[in-house]
Structure 1
Amino acid sequence: MKTNQISFWIAAIALAGTIASCSKKEATNLKSPVIPPSHPISSDTIGSFEKGTLLSGKTYTMNHDVYVKAGDTLLAQPGANIIVKNNSQFKIQGVFQSLGTQTSPITFDSDTHQPGTWGGFACDSAKAVTILWTKVLNTGGPDNTGGARRTLVVSKPIKVDIEDSWFANGQDDGIGLFGGAQVTVLRNTIQSGGSSDGEAINLKTGTTGTVAYNVIFNQAGTGVKLETAKVVTTAETNVDVYNNTIVSCGWRRGSAEPGRGVSAGVSAKGNIYNNIIVNCYHGIEIFQDADVANVKYGNNLFYATADTQVDNTAPPAITVDIRAGFYPSDAAGKPQPSDIISTSIATGNPMFTSFDGALLLPNGAPNTNDFHLKSGSPAIGKGNATYNADMGAYTSDGKGNKH
């Protein structure tokens, strides 16, 4: 009997310990460990050769060109603020990651906040580039020959991911991706770029991937340009270009090379669907030298707030019939039955939330428009459902642009 009592109390104590242990475990708030940044950059100035982490909420000054060597990584945390002086440029040979968030974007801007006052990102030999929720402003400062520089350029077959970011007031191409880069360019806003030349998104020489849900406004040249090369020695440029809203592009280059909403040429192919193209010099131009049989397109909306526009870019001035240029007559592209094509100011209006109707604007002009679609827009429900049921960058399903 005594032995049984002892056994009972031992079991009871063990059970009580187990219950206490369980209660304690349930009350514990387990958190994921906080991983400290790799090589935090604590100085207020960025060095000539840099690697490590630009810290969240911290403001940095960049006084000279900054090199990220092969094998190194430069990472910017949410809320980092980088002020660039002296027309400096990032030269990326390693990995570049700018990882902002919707509530804490990262900003790269010059100290003067004026268009064309710093050199952007030369990522020609980078190993990978990721840019998320980042504001890249006022790039395109001249190189040593006086020519404007692209905001961002990649020339290698690397992965490039650019999402939910802003590119404004550059002086040449906004995003130039070449050399077989594998690209994802989603939900960005690219505006008022190119002084007298430059595409918003320029994809050449075997680049592949997706360009979708971007808003492109007031670019000097073309919104999205696809080309391979006159002599194809690598894979063709092959990009899905869908659900972009492209407005007031192509007017600062003149009739010798007018800008387009979207163009495909020089052995490029791709799929061009669900785009809204408004007030551009030309709409969609599929050049005769494109891989025409493999450029698929349709379900695009074309509109203009004026029938004609005088082009004074170079003498003599000419009057441009905007609607005749939705599909230029000397190109291979033709209107598709699934397109919505405006025949007058009264037809085919996409019904933006607000739009001042501007065609010709200078480089650096602010964008005061709201390109969301009003209820009843003809673009809603008229997209190619392979990509989205709606047209344009702002879609009913919430997958579109977040700006």
Structure 2
Amino acid sequence: MIKQYLNRTQRLFVFFLSAAVLVAACSKNNDGPSDPPEEEEEEEVVDGISGDLTEVSFQAGESYDVVGDIFVPEGASVTIPAGVTLEFQEGPNGEAWFLEVFGSLYILGEENDRVVLTPSEELLASSKNQGIGQLWGGIIGTNTAGDLVIQYADILHAGGTVREENAMAQAATGGGGELSAGDASYALYYVREDGQRQDGIFVLTHSHIAFTPDDAIRINGGTILFTYNRFEVTGGTGGDAVNIKAGSSGDFAYNFFYNLATNGLKSADTGPGVSGALETNFYNNTIINSGYRRAEPGRGAGLNYESDAYGKVYNNLLVNNRFGLRFVSGEDEPRVEEIGYGYNWYYGAVQSILDEVYPTDATASVGLIGNDPRAPIPTTDIVGGPGENDPEFVNFDPSTFVFSGNGSIATDPLRSNIEPIPDGADFHLSAGSPALTGGFTDFGPVHENYVSLDGQLTFTPPAPSEFFGAFGTN
């Protein structure tokens, strides 16, 4: 049950009103006449929270209706403790409310006591819910933001429509605004624009991001650590789960991705961040049934490096994706010589998938791997024929994957499927899985530690594992 809360002014009003009633009751015992009590002017009590979050005393385990845009002021710090639910209501004119971060925000759920950010039950049951979010705004880290730390949180059905007054349409998010009024937003956004502050960390761990209309997360610079997260049904006819831009550096490991419109992880040295330093490690991630809702031909790899990006990409498990690891060719190519890659496991239910593990001239998505002498096909990758190299999940059969239409990636890339993870699916590897061994572990992280500005939180990136993908055995 969602509880309703009063702000400080409203609580004081209720206190003084109660005191007045008590005094009036006591006066009835006096013998002399008394003047009639003056009528108190009633103050409207507004249910829910909006505005400055430093004025909200979040209590662990409580639920709060969000009835307007909420924000963390510049220079301030707000912590949302374990068990809190923020339920975003629809605005009186259909507005989607945003959480805008101008200071530091710490969402600190716990393993068995998660923080939940979700739309109202009314919105979920409405015709607005088409399975790809847009039911509330998102969490928007601006140029003045410090840390953005999120752990054990569920961020669901975000990506609502941007309004003129939102930070996403203002210079606060980079340049003239990352988006314009009327655009669908991202579930999470973080920016470190060139010429602005560069300190602080963006950490997302043990969290669930699901149902978004475009990129689930857009990162324009910063020190980034993403580990042990679950991404599900992100993007309508486009959008990456995690779109990493110029000025970013960090580690992305043990994340699980299911049914994405385009890429799971993409690095491109473009955007308002500081250019020339986009180093991102992608290791031990699992990406399944993804890349088919991207409308443009030739787009939609599981993992993607382009536009001067570089890093290490090992031990990933890619199952039935539209394309495999892609190094973009041409003017937008990455720093090929500075990318360490190989030891990635590929499974395809049909030959059309396997033909594009390394994108060829069969589609518009020709990549560098296998097509450029600087990027040979790794002998350490695991690739077989249709239905071979089954990673043997505990409870998920990848051989049941089917296309719409004629089943050809080259001529029928767009799938309308926005189905979530099947009930009961378990993507851990079975005890006898061939994917439990063979991974590469002789490399280190981009950053040894990720430390919050106040020094109170330290996150250490996990070491790579010999198994492929995000999960070993149970």
In the superposition, the TM-score normalised over structure 1's length comes to: 0.80
RMSD: 2.2
Q: d(CA) in 2 for partners of 1:182 and 1:235?
A: 14
Offset of residue 362 of structure 1: 2.9
Contact 1:98 / 1:130 at 8 angstroms: preserved in 2?
yes
- Percent identity over the alignment is 25
Deviation string 1:256-287 (CA, Å, 9 cap, x unpaired) is 24211100000000100000001111110011
Q: Are 1:247 and 1:278, in contact at CA under 8 Å, matched by a contact in 2?
A: yes
User: Distance in 1 between the 2:395 and 2:468 partners?
Assistant: 17
Q: Secondary structure at the match of 1:322?
A: helix
The answer on whether the counterparts of 1:44 and 1:60 sit within 8 Å (CA) in structure 2 is: no
Partner SS for 2:225: strand
Note the C-alpha offset of 1:255: 4.7
Shift of 1:173: 1.2
Hey, what does 1:19 align to over in structure 2?
A: none
Q: CA deviation at 1:239?
A: 0.8
Alignment length, in residue pairs?
A: 342
Counterpart contact for 2:81–2:109, Cα < 8 Å: yes
Name 1:298's counterpart in structure 2.
342
In structure 2, what is the Cα distance between the partners aligned to 1:361 and 1:135? 25
Query: Which residue of the partner structure matches residue 253 of structure 1?
Result: 294
Instruction: Give the partner amino acid of 1:391.
Output: F
Match of 2:49 in 1: 46
Give the gaps of 5 or more residues in structure 1. 1-38, 308-320, 399-403
Corresponding residue for residue 468 of structure 2: 391
Does the CA-based 8 Å contact 2:220-2:273 persist in structure 1?
A: no
Q: Unaligned regions of 5+ residues in structure 2, if any?
A: 1-7, 12-45, 91-95, 164-180, 193-197, 361-365, 371-376, 403-414, 443-463
1:187-336 superposed matches below 5 A: 187-229=228-270, 234-288=275-329, 289-307=333-351, 321-329=352-360, 330-334=366-370, 335-336=377-378
Residue by residue over 1:6-47, the C-alpha shift from the partner in whole angstroms, topping out at 9 and shown as x without a partner, is xxxxxxxxxxxxxxxxxxxxxxxxxxxxxxxxx9xx996223
How is 1:122-141 mapped onto 2 (pairs within 5 angstroms)?
122-125=140-143, 126-141=145-160
Compute the displacement of 1:361 (Å).
5.7
Structure-2 residue corresponding to 1:376: 432
Q: Distance in 2 between matches of 1:216 and 1:361?
A: 17
Deviation at 1:366, TM superposition (A): 4.1
Which residue in 2 is equivalent to 1:79? 83
Counterpart in the other structure of 2:105: 96
Shift of 1:340: 0.6
2:183 paired with 1:174: no
In 1, distance between residues paired with 2:229 and 2:292?
22
* Alpha-carbon distance between aligned partners in 1 of 2:434 and 2:185, rounded to the nearest angstrom: 39
Alpha-carbon separation, structure 2, partners of 1:154 and 1:193: 18
Q: Is 1:109 aligned with 2:85?
A: no
Please name the residue that 1:154 is paired with: 190
> Can you list the C-alpha shifts for 1:73-126, whole angstroms capped at 9, x where unaligned?
221111001100121111110011110001100100001234320111111222
Is the Cα contact below 8 Å between 2:301 and 2:322 reproduced in 1?
yes
1:358, distance to aligned residue in structure 2 (A): 3.5
Relative to structure 2, which stretch is displaced further, 249-258 or 61-70?
249-258
- Residue of structure 2 in register with 1:121 after alignment: 139
Matched-pair contact (CA < 8 Å) for 1:342–1:349 = no
**Cα-to-partner distance string for 1:279-316 (whole Å, 9 max, x where unaligned):** 11111001131101111111100111233xxxxxxxxx
Q: What is the CA-CA distance between 1:225 and the residue it aligns to? A: 0.2
Measured in 1, the distance between the counterparts of 2:137 and 2:274 equals 31
Cα distance, 1:323–1:355 mapped onto 2, change above 3 Å: same
The yes-or-no answer on 1:62 pairing with 2:62 is: no
Alignment-mate amino acid for residue 112 of structure 2: T
Partners of 2:228 and 2:255 within 8 A in 1: yes
1:142-191 deviations in Å (ceiling 9; x for gaps): 22443211110101133111000000111111121112x10110000010
1:36-85 per-residue CA deviation (whole Å, 9 max, x = no partner) reads: xxx9xx99622312215522111101011112111112211110011001
Q: In the alignment, residue 333 of structure 1 is paired with which amino acid?
A: I
Whole-Å Cα distance in 2 between the matches of residues 44 and 265 of structure 1?
Answer: 48
One-letter amino acid matched to 1:120: G
Alpha-carbon distance between aligned partners in 2 of 1:148 and 1:159, rounded to the nearest angstrom: 25
Choose between structure 1 and 2: higher strand proportion.
1
Name which of structure 1's ranges 195-204 and 248-257 shifts more when overlaid on structure 2.
248-257
Identify if the C-alpha distance between structure 1 residues 366 and 379 changes in structure 2 by more than 3 Å, giving closer, same or farther.
closer
Contact 1:53 1:77 in 2 (8 A): no
Question: What is the identity, as a one-letter code, of the residue corresponding to 2:53?
Answer: E
> Does the 8 Å contact 1:194/1:363 carry over to 2?
no
Relative to the length of structure 2, the TM-score reads: 0.69
Q: Which of 385-394 and 249-258 deviates more?
A: 249-258
In structure 2, the residue corresponding to 1:202 is in which secondary structure?
strand
Instruction: Decide whether the 8 Å contact of 1:246 with 1:276 is kept in 2.
Output: yes
Q: CA deviation at 1:342?
A: 2.4
